Structure formats: structure tokens, C-alpha cells
Chain A
């Protein structure tokens, strides 16, 4: 318990609660359960993407192509739905995840097989995927009236008082909480990022582990492609433009070390919720939405400064866990 209080997750949780409290003083009803659920639902996509990005960052890589991947898969599913409204939604979701996986695997292969620095690979695929959205759609929009009711309705459908989108986010969080701590791949992500050289000697294939991190991040980006387009009921070339940096910001605020091997699922979720809460609190506090960019920028700088490692160099032995 005392250890939790000292952890960066506790600090972040405190900051998050303070933020909600502050917003509540300006606008009573902000902290009402209904509104908090709405904020969580609004932030679902960011949470899912941040979890994928976390796996990539844990292995000392970075994926800048997630938002472009999202735009491409979202556009493809929207166009399929517009052309063939009879296709069942689960099939479209499968297609979205499938395309996302392939795009992620492309990043992963370039990093694994050709050993190209991940920032270069995903900088390239960021522009390529985004350009492909334009090629696929011819620059045209898919508007709300062209989408079927089932396509748009699925993320909003209500199950036990929560929209399906929130349930998907909760399921993703649960899956990652288990996978990261209880599977060999999950532990390999930490090992590869913490000390790649040592990971090799313990029999972990560093390249292959990184490959799987990119595949996971890609698959989740594909899933979010469908969710994003269905939720906002519009698909166009610039969907989620610049969102890749929001995702990285969520991870950094959540205490995922950009140097790899350090970070938790809880941290990533809290980081995303922190950004989501700011986004929702600004309008009710009567602050112009134009302030949002500067505030998230400041939040990133403060977060990295707080999470900065005190010890120079790399930690060789991690503290034992009780």
C-alpha cells in the first residue's frame, strides 16, 4: 500500500482527481458519475491506442504511424459499408483489425528483418498510409447518410448502462493487464526494452519481440479505425491527423519511459484519461478550446520532468517486487 502511494501511478491518479475536483468547482455536475462515464467513453480510443503504443515503447521502439493506420482502416470499412450495407458489422471489424495487423506487421518486419530504426520506419509509413487513404477514397468523404444504421450504432449500443465502445476499452485494458504480467511475450517486452543485450542471452529474440509489439499496436489501431469512423459517423483523408502525438503524449504522461523497459498498463490508461479529462474540462470551465494544445504540451513537459530517472545510466537490477 505504501509502495503504491509512492508510485508514479499514485501521483498521476492524484493529479487526475485534482483535475476533476477543479472542474467540479467551476461546473457542478462535472464529477457526476454520468459525466465521468461519458469522459471515459470519449477517451476509449485514446486508451486503446496508448496501450498498443505502450507495448512498442516498452521494447525501445516508437510507432508514429498509428493515426494514419487508423485513418486507412476506418476509410476502408466505411467504403465497404457504403458500397455493401448488408455486410455484418462483426465482419467489418474483423477486416479493420486484419488490415491494421498487416500494416503493423509491415512496420515490424522493417524493424526486425532490416534493422531500420523504428522512428525512421514509422515516419515513412505515417506518410505512406495517410497518402493511401487519399488514393483509396480519391479524396472523397464518406458521410453519415451513406453508412448503415448498424455500422454507426454498434459502438453506441448500450449494454448494462455502458456503451459498447467503453466495454471494448475495458476489455482491452483487462487483456493487457493480464498479458503484460502473466505471459512470456508480455515479460519479453520489458526484457527487450530494459536490456536488449541481456535479453538476447536469456534466449529472447529481440527483433521478433519488437515485431509482435508493432503487430499488436497495428491491430489495435485498425480496431480503432472502425470505432473512430463509426462513432463520429464520417470518414475523410485527414481523420485523426496529428493524433499520433496525442497517443505518445498519453504514454509519456502515464510514465512509460521513452528509453524502454519501464511503464505499466495502469500508467498508460491514467495518462490517456488525464488528457481526455482536460479535453472535456476546458469547455465547461469556460476556457477556449484553443488552449488545449498548449496545456497538453505543458503536461507532457511536466510529466517527463517528474518521471525523469534520478540515476544516470541504465538501471541494471530492478527492485524486488513484494
Chain B
């Protein structure tokens, strides 16, 4: 994504600060602090907030988006982006609805949703890694294409009547107030955290994001890693499509409209550099919780969704701008 390249060289410290100060000054801790503040503000603002069932309901605001955000975080760290994720949800959900008309059962529907997601991811991956197109434009194109196919199939119609066994994936509870989606969210957080921070593959993603040329010369198969990441993002979008379809119980071509922007917001708010090369899964997890808390808390106060988006947009800019503003005022330099 060369369009986001800055003009200044990347700051590379020659000595890392000691571990405790690094943790204290970390993005994750700052974000966590903001999350706690919002949580406390919510408990003061509404007496209904602390109810376990209400809190459990709040998780549905972000779980499906977070599934995709995990894979998107890896993709953005590697220096690419996928703006077609919401389009993939629409297409996968439409394919499920279409299969339903032919009498396919719940397991078949899940398989179809996941396969369509994977296939869409493969299309993006081929466009970017084989044809060498910039991912931001290629996926704006596929975003229109995927959702456009949904519109061709459905027009102003909708698919309904999904089997009740499917509903568990969207509305079911595993244990007390812990929903199936929340369980998946925690599972994926662990999985992606391990993949990014404790495997060879994860280190390769950082290396590619920081300097793709150098990564190539160290023997990393850059195109292959990026292809896998596009496939993963497609698959996660497929999973989100299955859960969302199961939760809503219907498919319209406008399903998950504009989610791509919310997902990218979640990832960037989580401290992943949009320039690639840095970020953590813990940050994305906290960002998902913060966004969930803000939207849910404001919802309890009867604030309309569109006004909440002002908060989310403002939060995105503020958390990035404030540390830079402080640095600018103190030292006269941003970086």
C-alpha cells in the first residue's frame, strides 16, 4: 500500500527500553485504560449495564466483525488490505440462501458459506500476488463485484427460512451467558495470537510488512505468505457470514453493508500500523471490546447508531492524534 507511505524514514531504536516501561507505555495499556473508563462511565450512566445477560448481548455487537479483524490485522501487518470482506459476507450469505432453496441442510449450508469465503479470498489473493495489483484498489473492485453478484441474484428480494439447527451458530449459548459466538471469538483470539506472535509464519508476516524486498532476500516466500493471508481473511469472512446469517435468519444483498470500514477501524484502533510491520492481536481484542462497550453503552442511553459512529470515528482519530499532538507540542516534531 504505497499510498500510505510517509516521507520520513521509519524510526528504528538502537536499544529497546526495559520491559516494564515498555509495557507501561504500550498502546495496549492505553487502550485498556480507555476501555475501563468507558466501562465505568457505562455503569454510572445506566443501571441496566451491569446485568450479565445485557453484557452478554453486548458481545454480539462485535464478535462477527472481530473474527474478520483478526485475519485483517495479519493482512495489514503484512502491508496489504482487504476492503472486500463485507462483500464476501454478502456473497457467502447469498450462496447459502440459494443452496437453501435446493433443500441443503445446515451442515451443507455452513460448508457452502465457508467455501465461498475461501474462494473469494483466493480471487483477491490471485489479483494481488499473481497479477501484482495494489490490494487497496483490487479489493475495492472485488467488493463491488462480490456484493454486485448478490444484488444480481437477489435484487430487492430476501432469502428466509433457514433451518433451526443453524440458528445455534448465531444465537446459541454454550454455557450460561457465554454465547457460541463469544466462544469462537476467544478461540480465534488465542489461535491468531499464537500464529502471529509464537510461530515462524508470524515472524515472516512482520518481516514482509517492514520490508518486502529484504524479506524476499532472506528467503521468505512473500507471495505465498500474502496468498495464505488473503485466503485466511476470506475464510474468516465466510465464518462471519455463517454466524451473521444464522443470527439474522435472513439474507439481503445489503447485509453487513460498510462493515469493511468498521473492521479496519477496529484493527487500526487496536494499534496495528496501517503502514504495515507492527501491531498485536491483544490490541485488536481490546479494540473490539472497547468498540463493543461504546456501542452498547450508548445504545442503552438510546443514542442512535449513526451518532455512535461519530464516537467511533472520533475515537479512531483521537487515539492516534493525541499522542502525536502531545509529542508535537513538547518536542516540535511528530516522529
Contact = CB atoms under 8 A, between A and B. Distances in A.
A237 B309 CA distance: 13
Contacts of A134: 304, 306-307
B174 interface: no
B143 A304 contact: no
Contacts of A245: 140, 143-144
Contacts, number: 174
B131 A298 contact: no
User: Among the interface residues B134, B306, B314, which one has the most CB atoms of the partner chain A within 10 A?
Assistant: B306
Interface in B121-147: 127, 131-134, 136-138, 140-147
Interface range for A? 35 or more
A126 interface: yes
B328 A298 contact: no
B68 interface: no
B264 interface: yes
A60 interface: yes
Nearest to A210: B7
A19 interface: no
Nearest to B306: A134
B interface SS class? helix
B157 to A, nearest CB: 10
Contacts of B127: 301, 305
Nearest to B143: A297
Contacts of A127: 261, 265, 309-310, 312-313
B158 interface: no
Contacts of A76: none
A115 B4 contact: no
A249 B310 contact: no
A124 B141 contact: no
B5 A196 contact: yes
B40 interface: no
Contacts of A174: none
B16 interface: no
B313 A200 contact: no
Interface residues of B, number: 57
A197 B7 contact: yes
A115 B134 contact: no
Interface in B275-314: 275, 304, 306-310, 312-314
User: Among the interface residues B8, B154, B335, which one has the most CB atoms of the partner chain A within 10 A?
Assistant: B8
B8 A116 contact: no
Nearest to A139: B304
Given A115-B324, A242-B258, A294 B274 contact: no
Nearest to A295: B148
Interface string A116-159: 11111101111110111011000100000000000000000000
A252 interface: yes
Contacts of B36: none
A258 B134 contact: yes
Interface stretch (B49-57, B109-117, B315-323): B315-323
Interface stretch (A10-18, A40-48, A214-222, A284-292): A284-292
Contact of A131 (B2, B7, B138, B309): B309
Which 4 A/B pairs are nearest by Cβ-Cβ distance?
A: A294-B148, A297-B144, A297-B145, A293-B148
